[in-house]
Amino acid sequence: MLKTKKLRIFGLLLSLIIICLLGLSQISFATEQPSIPKVELPLIVTTCGQSPGALMIWVLSKQIKLPCDRKDLLTAEDLKAKADESNPYKTLIITTGTSMKGMGAAGVDIDYEVARIEAIIEEAKKEGILIIGAHIEGMARRVDATDAASIATVIPESKLLLIREDSNEDGYFTKAAEEQGIPIITFKETLDLADVFKKLFSMEE
């Protein structure tokens, strides 16, 4: 009986610690200037490499009631069609880092992904859509040539970077941002993006 009670107390304390850590992580992101561009709706997210990053952003957006479309195989034609509806996208988030499993399931390879994203970026520029490059899955999405190709396709064309801190352990994204004059927002945990989005989209608490 005493042992059971102790286990319950331990479990409660552990839960409280986890909650506190999550609470702290949600506000521990950092911003590094140059100035951050104006970020507006409508918003769409896609992936360069079919990793789960775009899905993560979409789920977090739903949790904070931020309208966000998601299409993992988004095309330039999709952007054109949205513009033809007189309600063009104003912000495009492209997550970087690749998943061989994800690309296999989608029936694509990295060459297809790079060509698709390059066409999307070209169309987004024509339409004046803000391009945000993101790397939110840590160093596990920076291990090979496909990851490097995904990152190299997106980051230089972005007007803002969203980077999880453990994706930037070697300072790669910080250096890229400084060299190319791109504002960067870094954060500790993927969950912190909820707070990042609230600030970027000027959402009321």
Q: Are 129 and 79 in contact (CB under 8 A)?
A: yes
In-domain check, residue 9? no
Give the pLDDT confidence score for residue 202 in this predicted structure: 92
**Domains contained in the chain, number:** 1
In-domain check, residue 130? yes
In-domain check, residue 18? no
Q: Which residues contact 179 (CB under 8 A, 6 or more apart)?
A: none
CA angle 25, 191, 142 (to 5 degrees): 100
Q: What CA–CA distance (Å, rounded) separates 96 from 91? A: 16
In-domain check, residue 51? yes
User: What range does the domain containing 94 cover?
Assistant: 30-200
pTM: 0.84
In-domain check, residue 4? no
In-domain check, residue 84? yes
pLDDT by 10s per residue, the chain, length 205:
443 444 344 444 433 443 344 444 443 344 446 899 999 999 999 999 999 999 999 999 999 999 999 999 999 999 999 999 988 999 999 999 999 999 999 999 999 999 999 999 999 999 999 999 999 999 999 999 999 999 999 999 999 999 999 999 999 999 999 999 999 999 999 999 999 999 999 986 5
Query: What is the CATH number for 142?
Result: 3.40.50
**107: which 2 tokens?**
């029936």
In-domain check, residue 117? yes
In-domain check, residue 59? yes
Q: What CA–CA distance (Å, rounded) separates 6 from 26? A: 30
